[in-house]
Structure 1
Amino acid sequence: MREENLKILITCEHGGNIIPEEYSTTFSGGKEELESHRGYDIGALELFQNFESNIGDFTHFSQTSRLLVELNRSLHHPKLYSEFTQHIAPDVKEKILQEHYFPYRNQVETKIGEWVRDGLKVLHLSVHSFTPVMSGKLRNTDIGLLYDPSRAREQLFAAHWRQQLHKSAPQFKVRYNYPYKGTADGFVTHLRKEFNDEQYAGLELEVNQKFPEQKHEKWEQLKNVLVSSFRQAL
């Protein structure tokens, strides 16, 4: 049963591949990259919207391409900017940060801070998807649940969620901290540094893009089962 003082936050950092008009010339010749998994997380926004309409006390998403600036990376990360924006003028980079990076991240962090000051706990789900094949290697899972094993609330919720997923849809393969480590650089990792385990628990959901790309009934089933099992795990 969901705790009375628990607030649910749902975000989607890579929901689209939009490039603002003022930067369009910077991306001339980049159509293929923008439409690929490099430009955005295919299917993630659609999945986020399923969560948004069913669960979530606060939701936030971006449809600006990660190739403009990577919202899920720290300022020091070498891939904060893509090959399209890496070599643009420093003042233009700063403008991108002020107009896209900081507004997105600050709005989420501010909401968490408000809840924490009110004595509430936060469970944050960051919705992502991953390409089925990376560097010629097949990724052999359907659903990845990313969390920090050193944080008890995250570990416990991931275990509960995986259990509910297995009960309701055993045909889907679920793995912990795959295809990425839950402690790798990211927005959730940053938020863990700002709020302790009692205040904040953050998980990243990674779904195989083979489902939204094929757009068959399994994709509809997967979206529904993810939302229902998440609710049951609370």
Structure 2
Amino acid sequence: MVKTIHLHQRDSEPYHDPVSYRQLVGRLLYLTNTRPDITFVVQQLTQFMANPTVMHHKAMTRVLRYIKGTPGQGLLYPTTSTIQIKGFSESDWETCPDTRKSILGYCMFLGDSLVSWKSKKQNSVSRSSSEAEYRALAIASCEIQWLTYLLTDFQILYKQHALLYHDNNSARHITANAVFHERTKHVEIDRHVIRERLHNKLLHLLPISTSAQIADMLTKPLEPIVFNQLLSKLGVINIPSPS
């Protein structure tokens, strides 16, 4: 996506063929199962399937050009990966111009292999960036819990603490602080969710710099250089197609 463009409901005139727009977005949704690099932009395009505009169609055309230029790109799963869950959680506050809701993103690794990722608009409006980041942490911790259950179902012995990386100091401090105060009353439920998992030693919550936050590409448009740097950390490689 173009970093400076924020798609919204009335950014241009209606697109003349909304049916074809919906069909193409539906196909792109299936592609996100193997292409995490387009997850955020497809999440954005799905917001406007009822009444797409010309600007939305241009954004989708840009995605199609990107896919056409990278036919051999996909996830690489190395055989040397260890049984260690590592997660990255991020949120972009008030991203949606229409609803002012925030976008959350997370990506989960089993060793060095990306196994789960999501870009999603939060269900409610957050009153602060700390609240948005904290809700993203809670949802990421739920995904970690589910992955541990999945490993158990596969009869894979897993006793290590999962590692969850987050770059917002305020959200991490709220998690560690056992005292409720005015700015955290409205996030009490999410606070209990993440604190319970920390107390049960399911995961460790660790700081990370914003420049190294892989989940950043699941919450906002990025410059090409930053996008490609984070893409390599996701384990996405581009195998040249045979001539």
Q: TM-score band (shorter)?
A: under 0.3
Structure in which a larger fraction of residues adopt helix: 2
